[in-house]
Chains A and B, each alone.
Chain A
């Protein structure tokens, strides 16, 4: 009886799990501007994307943990970001060893 009551409660409380597609975006390009709260990335000639930097944003350089200060204008980056309202919020910023604008 106890088990039946427990199961009934659980049925009422939980909803079924639903698999969903992620909404993560990968932005690849060259850094053109760095602010404490955002970086601007040129993804192709004349096209720039602004990505927000938040406390949880992880930075990686050559596969090792890095910080925002390691990032310089002209660095190539691969930014993994999620849309939050109107802005893109970076979850991870990989800093490349190559410099210069994208071809």
Chain B
């Protein structure tokens, strides 16, 4: 009986999703510029939740939020994650805002209310059909657990911490040159360089 209800429920979900996708594709093609409809986002979040095994969801973080661990995770985040998620976790980067779905603002409840185990699972295994890759290797990876600590800290990130993170953001040679040119211009060491388009 319960299985029958579940089957009907899933069938309805599939039909609703198919109609939404068909309508969306007809209107907008497969452009990543679009924003998911609230219903689509809600269904996707629910499916993502269902896709995480319950044993993984209830796992607790083996690390505690000690200052040195948070600093390590913060620099790791700046180096590996900030390209899409931004140093402050807002997702406000050229890549993050042009993905489909967009990188979420991880300071908000939708992320902060996920369990530690769920966050770890997503970092470790990635999320299919999004821009989120699997970062973990075989077995438990401590770096992902430490990143969970940092994600919990995001709503309280300080200006000093943000400034420190900028030193660890990956930069191309061109970006380094642009930054130096800007710095020299602002300090009066150089006349204005050419405008840059990023």
1/0 per residue, CB under 8 A from A, across B14-49: the answer is 100110110000000010100000001001100100
- Asked if B195 and A26 sit within 8 Å, CB to CB, the answer is yes
User: What is the interface residue range for chain B against chain A?
Assistant: 35 or more
Q: How far is the CA of A25 from the CA of B129 in the complex (A)?
A: 30
Binds A, one of B55-63, B106-114, B180-188: B180-188
Known A-B contacts A13-B21, A28-B182; the reply to A23 vs B196 at CB < 8 A is no
1/0 per residue, CB under 8 A from A, across B92-111: the answer is 01110011110000000000
Q: How far is the CA of A22 from the CA of B84 in the complex (A)?
A: 12
| Cβ < 8 Å to A, chain B residues 55-105 | 93-95, 98-101
Best-buried of A78, A96, A102 by chain B (most CB within 10 Å): A78
Q: How far is the CA of A103 from the CA of B21 in the complex (A)?
A: 55
Within the complex, the shortest CB–CB distance from B57 to chain A, in Å, comes to 15
Within the complex, the shortest CB–CB distance from A28 to chain B, in Å, comes to 5
The chain A residue with its CB closest to the CB of B166 is A63
Query: Which single member of B6, B13, B186, B198 contacts A76 (CB below 8 Å)?
Result: B186
Best-buried of B128, B178, B193, B196 by chain A (most CB within 10 Å): B196
A-B contact count (CB 8 A): 127
Query: Which single member of B43, B50, B94, B191 contacts A102 (CB below 8 Å)?
Result: B191
1/0 per residue, CB under 8 A from B, across A57-98: the answer is 000000111000000000011100000000000000011111
Q: How far is the CA of A10 from the CA of B130 in the complex (A)?
A: 10
The chain A residue with its CB closest to the CB of B6 is A2
Query: Which single member of B6, B43, B130, B185 contacts A17 (CB below 8 Å)?
Result: B130
- Asked if B192 and A43 sit within 8 Å, CB to CB, the answer is yes
Q: Would you list 14 pairs from A and B whose C-beta atoms are within 8 A, ordered by A residue? A: A12-B14, A13-B44, A13-B47, A14-B130, A17-B131, A18-B32, A20-B95, A20-B98, A22-B93, A24-B198, A25-B195, A28-B195, A76-B186, A100-B188
